[in-house]
Amino acid sequence: MGNMRRPDGRTLGKAIIQDGMRPCTVCGEVKSLEEFGKHPKGMMGRVGWCKECGNAKARARYNSNAEHYRSKRRESKREYDQRRYAEMIASGNKPKRDPIKAKNSYLLRNYGISYEEYLCLLESQDHKCAICGAEESDRKTRELVVDHCHASGKVRGMLCQKCNLMLGNANDLISTLEQAVIYLRDRGEG
């Protein structure tokens, strides 16, 4: 169980690791054991870095190559759906519909576009809401929805739920949305 080192290279003696406390190998702060993730082979059954430092490291790794992780997540989801459908058919528990075929039928029936056109529309917007720029992979955003003109039926783009509801609540009237902007500006909110 040798001595640990602080980020500046100084050794942390064993005496400091006591009473349910231990130092983080990244930031050097002495913290309670609950602030460290569990690891069966780690000192005191915990990883060497605190959860805060671990989260910061994971966030930095994700942000350095976010598009790569997003595309992997989308591809994994697509593969999972296809594999699950195939497994259900093989086991004799045939689902009512293939999820991709169901999405294609829904898009054709409601918006007049195919699943491929839907994917192209998502790609053209870089999987982001056309109004606020929220990314489809954000936990808060969920799946982007197809925005369309209710009068003509023409597809306008992909929006997050909040932006789509905003347009719907304004009845797609530009004058209503302009009045909302004036309202916010007059009250010092924009």
Domain boundaries, the chain: 4-62, 97-186
Question: CB within 8 A of 147, min separation 6: which ones?
Answer: 130, 155, 156, 157, 158, 159, 163, 164, 167
Q: What is the pLDDT of residues 30-70, one digit of tens each?
A: 888 889 988 888 777 888 899 999 999 998 988 898 888 88
Give CATH for domain 4-62. Answer: 3.30.60
Torsions phi, psi for 146 (to 5 deg): -80, 125
Question: CB within 8 A of 57, min separation 6: which ones?
Answer: 26, 49
Lowest mean pLDDT among 13-22, 123-132, 145-154: 13-22
Percent of residues, the chain, with pLDDT higher than 90: 16
**Confidence class for position 113, pLDDT limits 50, 70, 90:** very high
Bridge partners (DSSP) listed for residue 135 = 128
Q: Which two tokens stand for residue 164?
A: 């789509």
Decide: pTM greater than 0.85.
Answer: no
Give CATH for domain 97-186. Answer: 3.40.1800.10
